[in-house]
Chain A
Amino acid sequence: EPEVTQTPSHQVTQMGQEVILRCVPISNHLYFYWYRQILGQKVEFLVSFYNNEISEKSEIFDDQFSVERPDGSNFTLKIRSTKLEDSAMYFCASSVLAGGPETQYFGPGTRLLVL
């Protein structure tokens, strides 16, 4: 069964460093998402992406974040200058369609720790 994959599974970085989290969505999916989950808190929406553009973003997704689809298979989340509070599990998701009763399929996550 096709699945969303994410690399790395764990990332430790120093505050102020840039990190890039990578995702390979399911191959025929057109919509891509990033969510994050701070330990003990809810899964929170960050951004959705379609046709090489951000289609929606949350208040969390500020100028230090960016997303990119650098080729036909990868979808990346870049955090430019990491802060301690960016420590969280980051989930990538993808769906065939959007805006209606579509299913978003989640990857296993990347655990980011900022020291």
Chain B
Amino acid sequence: QKEVEQDPGPLSVPEGAIVSLNCTYSNSAFQYFMWYRQYSRKGPELLMYTYSSGNKEDGRFTAQVDKSSKYISLFIRDSQPSDSATYLCAMKRDGNNRLAFGKGNQVVVIP
């Protein structure tokens, strides 16, 4: 079983729609969960960071973690064309430096 799984299928939504992305993981030692956004020809940029089960909101973005199911989600409300990017989930263990990434979802928001 892969350590972090993220269905890499591209996602096209109309402007204003809710975007829903998710990742599953197998390693119960992961304690810190991140969503990175990557624009074309740029490096990953941290979007959201959580380390406990539950929801965390930041503007139009909500990150959700369910440690019992080993499942994390990112929701983007009122999506904008500027949200068009690849979204990568990432996670790490406490006391460890390496980030384990999902494959990424390419999101296109159509005006």
Contact = CB atoms under 8 A, between A and B. Distances in A.
Interface of A: 4, 31, 33, 35, 41-45, 48, 55-56, 58, 91, 93, 98-101, 103-109
B100 A45 contact: yes
Contact of B94 (A31, A33, A58, A99): A99
Interface stretch (B10-18, B40-48, B66-74): B40-48
Contacts of A105: 46
A31 B32 CA distance: 18
10 contacts: A35-B99, A42-B4, A43-B99, A44-B101, A98-B97, A100-B94, A104-B46, A106-B36, A106-B44, A107-B43
B41 A108 contact: yes
B51 A101 contact: yes
B46 A109 contact: no
